[in-house]
Amino acid sequence: MEPASGNVATQLRRGVLEHCVLAVLARSPEYAFELVRRLSEVDGLVTSEGTIYPLLSRLSRDGLVATTWQPSDAGPPRKYYDLTAAGRRALAAFAAEWTTFTQGVDDLLRQAGVAVGGRPRGARGDR
């Protein structure tokens, strides 16, 4: 991987990861391991799964998510994370920002003649 693109991915991840957590939890409450698995399905979103826990803890302190312990069939009780009303508002605000922001960036990239919505020409791909 090129160092520059790696750095861009890190910067982007830093900015959006917490809202992706909120987005996953908006569908249903999850315990952390399942939440991490869902996030990991998005390519490049989670590089070190362990770093999710400090993020979850901060979201909880900020009142955007709430935790409850629920019994598990498989072992000890699981800590479930759920969105709070404040979390839903934060997610809605982010979604609006995100749409405007990505549309603006896409427009700039199109004007620059760079393909948007796929791999740029000449990138090392699978095909």
Per CB under 8 A, contacts with another protein among 45-64 are 47-51, 53-58, 61
- CA separation, residue 112 to residues 9, 34, 41, 116, 127 (Å): 20, 40, 31, 10, 25
Binding string, residues 14-33; x marks residues near another protein by CB under 8 A: -----------------xxx
Q: Which of 20, 24, 36, 90 binds another protein (CB under 8 A)?
A: 36
Nearest CA to 22 out of 69, 62, 49 is that of 62
At its nearest, how many Å lie between another protein and the CB of residue 37?
8
Number of residues located near another protein, criterion CB under 8 A:
22
- In this complex, which beta carbon is closest to another protein, that of residue 1 or of residue 112? 1
At its nearest, how many Å lie between another protein and the CB of residue 63?
14
Q: What is the DSSP track for 10-77?
A: HHHHHHHHHHHHHHHHHHS-EEHHHHHHHHHTSTTT-SSGGGHHHHHHHHHHTTSEEEEEE--SSSS-
Residues forming the site for another protein (CB under 8 A): 31-33, 36, 40, 47-51, 53-58, 61, 74-76, 78-79
